[in-house]
Structure 1
Amino acid sequence: MARQCELDGLPTKCCFSYIQRPVPQNVIASAFTTSSTCRLPAV
């Protein structure tokens, strides 16, 4: 789950942890790639 935070004063969404199982496709409404400035890469 992505949470809003600030990096260099600019708001961005970053992931701080991963879940251990796949998310069922029927519950996904949309997806995006997190910023390259985030500590963990995610979609």
Structure 2
Amino acid sequence: MVKGPDPLHLAEVFGLDEKTAMRYAHSARALLEQAAEQPSQ
């Protein structure tokens, strides 16, 4: 089971270059971590 953004999955599904998929996954992880740190309303 994969949790969180998976660069390989992004590359396959969207036809992205590996480096682009890695950048997108990194950005998504950062956004998820930032959201987790915010208090829920």
User: TM-score by structure 1 length?
Assistant: 0.20
Question: Which structure has more helix as a fraction of its residues?
Answer: 2
Question: Which structure has more strand as a fraction of its residues?
Answer: 1
Higher gyration radius (CA): 2
User: TM-score by structure 2 length?
Assistant: 0.20
